[in-house]
Amino acid sequence: MSSRITCEVRNAAPVAVVRLTGPLDLATMRSVHHALDGALANEPEALVVDLGGVTVRDRLALSVFAATARRAEEWPAVPVLLCAPPPGAARWLAEASAYRVVPVSRDCAEATRLAGAATAPRLRARLEPVAEACRRARELVVDACARWNLPDAAGPASVVLSELVGNVVRHAGTPMQVTVTLRRPYLHLAVVDGSRAAARVAGPDPSAEGGRGLLLVRELAQRWGSVPAGRGKAVWAMLPAT
């Protein structure tokens, strides 16, 4: 029996659609995971997975979609939806509480419409790895919190984003994309740079602006992490949107 699945990615801006064709089992779910991660690395506003061409051979393989949805919740803070599952898979998705974190639609058009309606407000900026990048990052997050009426979040969020940007300036030294997203109940902060080296908490460097490393990020954020993104990485943090 063949265990090969194809993953076709279509960017129907602002929503990315991944159409899967072939058998989904424990052998092919790795390929699916890689394809979905690749689609998320382009930071769409939402991700729709079309299961119309899939034959599900092992219900455990459906866990790949829940894992993707949880990862997408952290970064790039976008919804993931499934559409057009075959009858058996639709039943399994409805029965297992572990899978119900991913909404399921009857067809791709409906899923794309729902995904577009679920997009979150966000602000983005492209920054160079220079000292003033930290200041510009603080200005961006303060502006976002003012627009979205989050005065109490502005202080901690500006500190966290400044540290994330400062980490790129000091260690990665590449241009970066900074994103602030409101996806309640959290304010999501993310910085994507061109280095694959994972961000790690280290000792403080008091000699530079934003020189306290990632220690403050760990203390102030509800959650934070570092994941591969294209040819670089994304470092993200989530703070309560209060």
Residues 132 and 233 grouped into a single domain: yes
Q: What is the pLDDT of residues 59-118, one digit of tens each?
A: 999 999 999 999 999 999 999 999 999 999 999 998 877 777 899 999 999 999 998 888
- Which domain covers residue 39, as residue numbers? 6-117
What does the pLDDT read at residue 207?
46
Which helix (H) or strand (E) is 142 found in, with range?
helix 133-147
What does the pLDDT read at residue 205?
52
Task: Dig out the tokens for 206 from the structure.
Answer: 């008091």
Q: Is 222 exposed, middle or buried (0-12, 13-18, 19+ CB in 10 A)?
A: exposed
pLDDT band at 206 (very low <50, low <70, confident <90, very high): very low
Contact residues for 76 (Cβ-Cβ < 8 A; gap 6+): 40, 43, 44, 179, 181, 190, 234
| Pairing label, strands 46-56, 15-24 | parallel
pLDDT band at 203 (very low <50, low <70, confident <90, very high): low
Q: Is the peptide bond before 23 cis (omega within 30 degrees of 0)?
A: no
Looking up residue 15, the CATH number of its domain turns out to be 3.30.750.24
Residues 100 and 148 grouped into a single domain: no
Instruction: State how far the Cα of 172 lies from the Cα of 93, in Å rounded to an integer.
Output: 41
Residues 111 and 136 grouped into a single domain: no
Smallest CA-to-CA distance from 109 within 72, 138, 84, 92 is with 84
Determine, yes or no, domain membership for 41.
yes
Is the full-model pTM beyond 0.95?
no
Domain boundary among 90, 117, 144: 117
Instruction: State how far the Cα of 3 lies from the Cα of 25, in Å rounded to an integer.
Output: 8
DSSP three-state, residue 206: coil
Percent of the chain past pLDDT 90, that is, above it, reads 79
Determine, yes or no, domain membership for 60.
yes
Looking up residue 129, the CATH number of its domain turns out to be 3.30.565.10
Residues 148 and 218 grouped into a single domain: yes
Angle made by CA atoms 169, 170, 171, in degrees to the nearest 5: 100
Residues 52 and 160 grouped into a single domain: no
Determine, yes or no, domain membership for 1.
no
pLDDT band at 213 (very low <50, low <70, confident <90, very high): low
38 with 9: CB under 8 angstroms? yes
Contacts 24+ apart (CB under 8 A), 209-214: 209/131, 209/134, 209/162, 209/166, 210/134, 210/162, 210/163, 210/165, 210/166, 210/167, 210/169, 211/166, 211/170, 212/163, 213/163, 213/167, 214/163, 214/164, 214/167
Average pLDDT, the chain: 90
Residues 137 and 229 grouped into a single domain: yes
Query: Based on the structure, what is the number of domains in the chain?
Result: 2
